[in-house]
Structure 1
């Protein structure tokens, strides 16, 4: 039986994500206290303004990135030295690449490259580098661009992995639903088959019992011995029907295959003998030796003859003669005729 996939790939839950973001912001703000101790209130203020929006970066990645980028641009005008708050920029880039549409992630990457050039230029001014050339600008610009690129790449990889994992989970759940549906259809077909067989068993057995009981009622007054034999036939037929009914009901119980084997082609002779014992005139042409046919074919032939003889007893009239012919060659042929009133 298929089992439901209850364990998805591990990932932080919503509550854990909120606590992680709070700890991240708290850690950055704790580092920003160093600006206050160093007598840099502007740097501390800008750091707080850049770090706090990260609390909403998962659900509003693009607006948070725009806010961080705008505050970073204002900081570049007011402050010419690195600040702790600038660590929020790669975090915001990662968040856009991870949680936002792909085009927004690419836009954030390009803004990051532009910001790397601006930041490197402002830092060189703040450090008193004098003339700014490509030689002294490149190390800072390349380093900052590498950090931004790494943040974007990690975010994009995480987004791609999540989509891939979600697609695998969806396909597994769909396959599970299809397997459950196939099991349900198979069980429905089996119940229908058992219901048909139960109908055949009940109809055949009861028809024999009714015919025998009618005969015994009329014979009891004139010939008690006939009535005794008829009652014995009724008893035998009832027990056989009950045994086959138990077998069919046993199929409905788990781990039970029934209390008797399924009837087959060789059991058709018993049907003929039973019909004759019930008073019907039956001419039979049956295979003499045991047959070797598939179980399903033998069961189908048995049920056909059983239903046909039941219909003869019900509808052909008391004086009808039935002929049953079964031949086994390249195929199994079953023919039941009667000369009754129809």
Structure 2
């Protein structure tokens, strides 16, 4: 799990944190202010003041991008009146346009682009006048306007693309979170359905056991006065039935407790290994031949195979005896083949839980998927359960 987490983090894009972004903006403004000092060397105090003021609003470009654009545009307009040559402070204008396209609503980004185009025309005319150009014909103004407009367009396009990417990523994250919530609800519903099924089974077990106990207890009460030996045998039957019912009820209640099964609400082939480990922990000697890695098979077939192994191992614990050895084999080819074989008492063991309902359940699960189950005494002793589920 730590390896997976590290791999996921390595693929995430690197981004500045809140403090890093604040320091980046401060350094950007500081760099533009330092560039403005060049106007002091050239003897342009007005240009120095305006070039130093224009970048300052960029400190708030992430939180109030449109207001920053208006402030920078206003200072640029003031500069066009006071200074007739380009200044380093005008570098703040494309940064402000980028910020509006990046973090402001779409209509504000379009407005910023239009303001930038208007500023390109004003700057081109003002610079030509400052350079001593008397002829303001289209042929002279157009190159400056197109160049400045291209810079503004590039800044706006970069900001709009970044905003579009962020919105796309946010939509993907929201969709993934929604899918995760849906999956959690489906798992919860599946677990609830499984608990309801187990509750119905527990009701049947308890109702059957109690009905037998009540009938036997009534018979023992009437027989005690006439034939005490019959009453003793009947009380023994009551005790046996009560123990069996109690054991089955405890098993079903154990399945209802979270975390006791060690598997998901709908287990599959990969969870058969858990059944083997559980049987070994209970003292049963189990030899397992399981596919590794686990092949990808339909969920219904995987669940049926898991339940067949589960029921077969339960029967081994009930009937095979304490020293029985078990061999579990699961293979996947044209179908899923399951075999659970033990060397215990097998069919010679006394019946413990009624007329073979576990085997009936196995056959019913296999039949749903067009498969078969064969169960009976194994050659050389013991008991074997073989199932085949076609894919």
Give TM-score, length-normalised by structure 1: 0.71
1:130 is displaced (CA, Å) by: 4.2
Matched-pair contact (CA < 8 Å) for 1:33–1:44: yes
**CA–CA distance in 2 between the matches of 1:10 and 1:111?**
33
Q: Which of 196, 206, 223 does residue 227 from structure 2 map onto?
A: 223
SS state of the match for residue 244, structure 2? helix
1:164 to 2:174 alignment? no
Match of 2:67 in 1: 63
**CA–CA distance in 2 between the matches of 1:211 and 1:19?**
85
Match of 1:43 in 2: 47
Question: 118-127 or 73-82, which moves further after superposition?
Answer: 118-127
Matched-pair contact (CA < 8 Å) for 1:46–1:71: yes
Match of 2:261 in 1: 254
Match of 1:301 in 2: none
Matched residues, number: 272
Question: 152-161 or 244-253, which moves further after superposition?
Answer: 244-253
Q: Which runs of 5+ in 2 are unaligned?
A: 263-274, 276-309, 316-350, 369-391
SS state of the match for residue 54, structure 2? helix
Matched-pair contact (CA < 8 Å) for 1:93–1:148: yes
**CA–CA distance in 2 between the matches of 1:83 and 1:186?**
69
Higher relative contact order (CA 8 A, sep 6+): 1
Match of 1:317 in 2: none
Q: State how 1:1-342 maps to structure 2 within 5 Å.
A: 11-252=15-256, 253-255=260-262, 260=314, 294-295=364-365
Matched-pair contact (CA < 8 Å) for 1:65–1:92: yes
**CA–CA distance in 2 between the matches of 1:40 and 1:212?**
114
**CA–CA distance in 1 between the matches of 2:148 and 2:367?**
80
Aligned-residue CA RMSD in angstroms?
A: 3.1
**CA–CA distance in 1 between the matches of 2:194 and 2:40?**
79
**CA–CA distance in 2 between the matches of 1:291 and 1:80?**
94
SS state of the match for residue 260, structure 1? helix
Cα deviation, 1:270-300, whole Å, max 9, x if unaligned, reads 99x89xxxxxxxxxxxxxxx899624999xx
**CA–CA distance in 2 between the matches of 1:238 and 1:97?**
77
SS state of the match for residue 221, structure 2? helix
Q: Which runs of 5+ in 1 are unaligned?
A: 262-269, 275-289, 299-342
Which structure would you say has the larger Rg? 1
Question: 223-232 or 178-187, which moves further after superposition?
Answer: 223-232
**CA–CA distance in 2 between the matches of 1:12 and 1:254?**
45
Distance 1:296 1:238, change over 3 A: farther
Match of 1:329 in 2: none
Distance 1:199 1:69, change over 3 A: same
**CA–CA distance in 1 between the matches of 2:194 and 2:163?**
47
Matched-pair contact (CA < 8 Å) for 1:244–1:260: no
Matched-pair contact (CA < 8 Å) for 1:50–1:72: yes
Match of 2:345 in 1: none
**CA–CA distance in 1 between the matches of 2:361 and 2:65?**
77
Give TM-score, length-normalised by structure 2: 0.63
1:53 is displaced (CA, Å) by: 0.5
Matched-pair contact (CA < 8 Å) for 1:247–1:260: no
**CA–CA distance in 2 between the matches of 1:216 and 1:291?**
34
